[in-house]
Amino acid sequence: MGQALNIALLPGDGIGPEVMDVAEAVLDLLIQRYQLPLGHTRFDWPSHAWHQSHGQMMPSDGVAQLREFDAMLLGALGDPGPLEDSSRFVLSDSVSLAPLLALRKQLDLWACERPARWLPGAPQYLADPRAREVDMLVIRENSEGEYSGQGGRLAPGTAQEVATQVEVFTARATERLIRHAFRRARQRSTQREVPRQFKNDKHAQVCLITKRNAQPFWGDLYTDTFHRIAAEFPDVDIHHELVDAACMKFVQCPWRFDVVVASNLHGDILTDLAAVLCGGPGLAPSANLNPDEPSLPALFEPVHGSAPDIAGQNLADPRATLMSLAMLLDNLAHHHPAIGSAAQHLHDLIQADLAREANGEAFSGTRETGQRLCQWLAA
Ligand code: NAI
Ligand code: MG
C-alpha cells in the first residue's frame, strides 16, 4: 500500500461542526472497515470563533497549510454571530465567506461540480412524476466572472455614493470550463446503464447558460467558445438558455437537462434551485476541482451555507456533507481500489437511509442520522 493520503476536515461554523461530526465518525468507520490508506486532520479555522480570538477567519498561511493535503472537506461558513445582541461580535457575510473564495481562487479550483439527482425518499417538490428522473450536473465557473472582487465604493454612505462591481471573463477560463463540461457529458453517457435520449439520437447534452441578450460581451465570448468546442464533440447535443428562462425550465421540465455549464453567479443561483429539485439543501453535494492539476487538493462541501436559523438544534441534515464525502472518496479512488469500494458503500448507505423516508419516516435529526449510519457501517 502506498503512502497515506491526508484529508483536511474544515467544519467551519453554523451547522458546519454538527454535520462534520457525522462525516468524521462515518469516515473513521470506513477507514477501519476498508483499511483505507487515509488519515485526517480537523481544523478549527476558518470559523467565526477563530475570527473572534484572532481577528481573521484563518491564519495568514492557511491556504499554504491546506495545499499540503490530498483533499479537503468543508462543513459550512457564514455564521454571523448573535444578531439579537448588537454588542456581541457580528461578522458580515463577505468576511465570513472570504476563506472559501480564497481557497477556490488561490488553489485554482476552477471547476465547481454540483450533481443534482433525485433519489427515492427525498422530498419531491414538483408534482409531475417525471421530477423523479432529474439527473443533471451543473458545472459552475469558480475562479472569475461576477466574483472577481474588482470594484469599490466611492463616497460611501453619502447620497453621491457610487458602487462598482466589475465582472471579468477570460478566454482561458472560458475555454477550460466549457471543454470540461463536454468531457463530463461524454463520460456520464458512457457510465449510464440505460442511455438517455437527446436530439438527433445523442446520449449526452450540454446546456450553456448566459444572459447574452443583456450582457453580450461575456455572453458572446461564452457562445463563440461553446460552438467552437462543440465541433470537437459531435456525439454531444448542444443547447443554450438565457439564465432567466433556465430558471423557469428547471421548474417546468428539469428532467430534460444533462450537463449545464454556467458562470460563477449564474451557477451559484441555479444550483440552489437544482438542490431543491432533489429534495432540498440537506441533500445537495459539491466538488471544487482543478481538472488540469489533480495534485492540487480538491475541496468538497455541501451546497448549503451555515444555516444560522437551525444551527445547534440537531435539525441539519448531514447527508449533503456525507454525499460530498462520497464524492471526495470517488476522487481519490484512483490511488487505491479500496477507496472506491468505500465510496460506493457510502453512496449506498445514504440511499438506503433516504429510502426509509420513502416509507413515511421523518428526518430523524443530525445526530440520530449519524448514529444510524454508523451502526449500519459497524454491523
Ligand atoms: P443556507 O444554505 O445557510 O440556508 C438556507 C436555508 O436552507 C435555511 O432555511 C437553512 O435552515 C436551510 N438549510 C441549509 N442547510 C441545511 C441542512 N443541512 N439541513 C436542513 N436545512 C438546511 O443559506 P443562507 O441562509 O442564504 O446563508 C447563511 C450563511 O451561509 C451566509 O453567511 C452565506 O454567505 C453562507 N453561505 C456559505 C456557503 C458555504 O459555506 N459554502 C454557501 C452558501 C451560503
Ligand atoms: Mg450558493
Mean pLDDT of 273-290: 96
The pLDDT value recorded for residue 30 is: 98
Instruction: Please state, in angstroms and rounded to a whole number, the distance separating the CA atoms of residues 257 and 198.
Output: 9
Domain ranges of the chain: 1-111+286-379, 124-151+167-278
CATH topology identical between 1-111+286-379 and 124-151+167-278:
yes
pLDDT digits (tens, 9 = 90+) for 79-89: 887 665 555 56
- Binned at pLDDT 50, 70 and 90, residue 185 comes out as very high
Q: 1-111+286-379: which CATH number, 3.30.1380.10, 2.30.40.10, 3.60.15.10, 3.40.718.10?
A: 3.40.718.10
Residue 125: pLDDT over 90:
yes
ipTM above 0.95, yes or no: yes
In CATH terms, the fold of domain 124-151+167-278 is: Isopropylmalate Dehydrogenase (3.40.718)
The pLDDT value recorded for residue 82 is: 67
**What spacing in Å lies between the alpha carbon of 275 and ligand 1's midpoint?**
12
**What spacing in Å lies between the alpha carbon of 32 and ligand 1's midpoint?**
32
- One-letter identity of residue 229: I
- Binned at pLDDT 50, 70 and 90, residue 2 comes out as low
The pLDDT value recorded for residue 31 is: 98
The pLDDT value recorded for residue 21 is: 98
Contact between residue 279 and residue 124 where contact means Cβ atoms under 8 Å apart: yes
242-177-213 Cα angle (round to 5):
20
**What spacing in Å lies between the alpha carbon of 75 and ligand 1's midpoint?**
11
The pLDDT value recorded for residue 92 is: 87
Cell reading at 61: 498561511
Which bound ligand lies closest to the C-alpha atom of 267?
A: 2
Average pLDDT over the chain reads 95
The pLDDT value recorded for residue 88 is: 57
pLDDT digits (tens, 9 = 90+) for 318-345: 999 999 999 999 999 999 999 999 999 9
Instruction: Please state, in angstroms and rounded to a whole number, the distance separating the CA atoms of residues 90 and 262.
Output: 33
Contact between residue 89 and residue 26 where contact means Cβ atoms under 8 Å apart: no
Instruction: Please state, in angstroms and rounded to a whole number, the distance separating the CA atoms of residues 144 and 265.
Output: 10
The pLDDT value recorded for residue 73 is: 98
Which bound ligand lies closest to the C-alpha atom of 90?
A: 1
Cell reading at 73: 472537506
